[in-house]
Amino acid sequence: MNPSGTVIPGKELVREMDVAAPRYTSYPTIPVWSAADSGEAYAEVLRRHSADTPLTLYFHVPFCSTICHYCGCNTAKLECNAQTAEYAEALRQEIRLIAALLPERHRVTQIHWGGGTPSTLNNGEFTAILNLVRQSFDVADDAELAIETNPMTCTDEKLRFLLDNGFNRFSIGVQDFDPEVQQRIGRNQTYARTAEFCRTIREHGVRSLNFDLVYGLPTQNLDKAGDTMSKVVDLSPDRIAVYSFAFLPTLRDNQRNIDTSLIPGTDMKFDLYLLTIERLQQAGYEMIGMDHYAKPEEELAVAWREKRLRRNFMGYTTKAETDVIAMGATSISDVSGYYCQNIKDNAPYFESVRAGRLPVQRHMTLDTDDLIRRRVIMDILCNGIVLKEDVSKRFGISFEDYFALELPRLNPLIEKGLVVNDARAVEATETGRFFLRNIALHFDNYLDGRKGPNAGATFSRTV
């Protein structure tokens, strides 16, 4: 047991639990959604949307100054400023399309900018979009304005602009501070610049600073990871997301630049994972949900302890009852039991919004079974517990009868001491909290092809 009270799993258990599985940013997962012929289904969902449900707006900006070799995001190298001008105009067109379909002005409690590198937009482009958002929606005074940033390309002047315009949540992709690891993944992000960037953010009173870390990158070893962790802890971010490097070169051309001989083997990867979580917990961070750590006083950690954490495409959130309207190429919306993903490539995305058509490429309307299972899977991934009576009452079912096939599948995990299944709940144990995906996947009705094909989906490993 470590100082924070969570039992860190042994390496053998980690090895056993390392399987390919969805990350469940949605359920059902994107591979089972179908191609959309038009945006009409989404338009109908928006026309019927109740203003009682507040909104999260997400803007995707698919440009970066250079493309990192390990990256799995939808982004491209920015070649000239005209690209962001055209893209920003398309975002404004999409905002107008969405706002015209909603039956009344809707309240917005969260605006999240992701990518790519959103700060590739210039200040004028940001201002024009934010002004249009404020004209089209009621943005709450205490709304979260979150942005993913790169300290190496976000200048001091741009950072001051963001701070002066109310951005109050910053996420920084750190991955690893070691220069050789960075060189092998095509990055150059110095500790000095990152520290300076964090200092400026803190001086403006921002209380929400997130770092992303990745383990399993080329040439990483325990010394380098230990050094990175010391630096990370010194910078004291409020939240830290720790991801396993998903090496999928058949899906990601840029990953072919990686020298595969330098990728740590499975054994080393497990050691890196264990070192990272041990160091975070020694520093007082609490594990929340899956892959995420937060300071005990941080609102996500409080929500985890109170079992009211939720999850959407941007990560964990305390905003339980919002629908997500996403704009920009490849972005994903989650509205009233309907999911849709925008067109991935910029040119057809531009063409669609210019023609006044919602740029939907894939979508899915959830049926009752999907909604029940989504609730169960999200309860596991967000809070480590499913209260059977809550689910039974909410959906008018008997939990035990409905999941008569699934519950026995938990037995191997129960025998390993990872899950408890009793009359009240299915609940991850302290050690089981490290393997929430392994528990959740037993409630997925698509994984074994029972409900429908999953189109040969490739999923990342759980560890």
As beta bridge partners, residue 139 has: 108
Of the two residues 150 and 276, which places its CB atom closer to ligand SF4 in the complex? Answer: 150
Task: By CB under 6 A, tell whether 454 contacts ligand SF4.
Answer: no
What span, in angstroms and rounded, lies between the C-alpha atoms of 218 and 80?
31
Burial (0-12, 13-18, 19+ Cβ within 10 Å), 438 = buried
Residues 297-356 close enough to bind ligand SF4 by CB under 6 A: none
Question: Could you identify the residue written with the tokens 């962790």?
Answer: 229
In the bound state with ligand SF4, the residue whose beta carbon lies nearer, of 71 and 377, is 71
Asked if 64 is part of the footprint of ligand SF4 (rule: CB under 6 A), the reply reads: yes
**Residue 67 interacts with ligand SF4 (CB under 6 A): yes or no:** yes
Type and span of the H or E element at 17 = helix 11-17
Taking the CB of residue 1, how many other CB atoms lie within 10 A of it? 9
The helix/strand/coil state of 57 is strand
Stretch of 12-20, 70-78, 244-252, 285-293 lying at the interface with ligand SF4 (CB under 6 A): 70-78
What is 374-401 written as a DSSP string? HHHHHHHHHHSEEEHHHHHHHHTS-HHH
Closest contact distance (angstroms) between CB of 243 and ligand SF4 is 11
The binding track of 160-179 with respect to ligand SF4, each residue x by CB under 6 A or -, is -------------x------
Does the protein bind ligand SF4 through residue 8 (CB under 6 A)?
A: no
Residues 94-123 that bind ligand SF4 (CB under 6 A): 115-117
Six token digits for residue 240: 């830290």
- By beta-carbon proximity to ligand SF4, the closer residue of 287 and 332 is 332
Which residue lies nearer to ligand SF4 by CB, 109 or 120? 120
Helices (H) and strands (E) in the chain, counts: 16, 20
* CA–CA distance, 262 with 256 (Å, rounded to integer): 13
Nearest Cα residue to 440 out of 384, 372, 385, 377: 377
* 73/335 with CB nearer ligand SF4: 73
From 26-34, 60-68, 126-134, 452-460, give the range in contact with ligand SF4 by CB under 6 A: 60-68
Question: Site for ligand SF4 (CB under 6 A): how many residues?
Answer: 11
Hunting for tokens 């499913």 — which residue is that?
A: 386
Task: Write out the residues near ligand SF4 by the rule CB under 6 A.
Answer: 64, 67-68, 71, 73, 75, 115-117, 150, 173
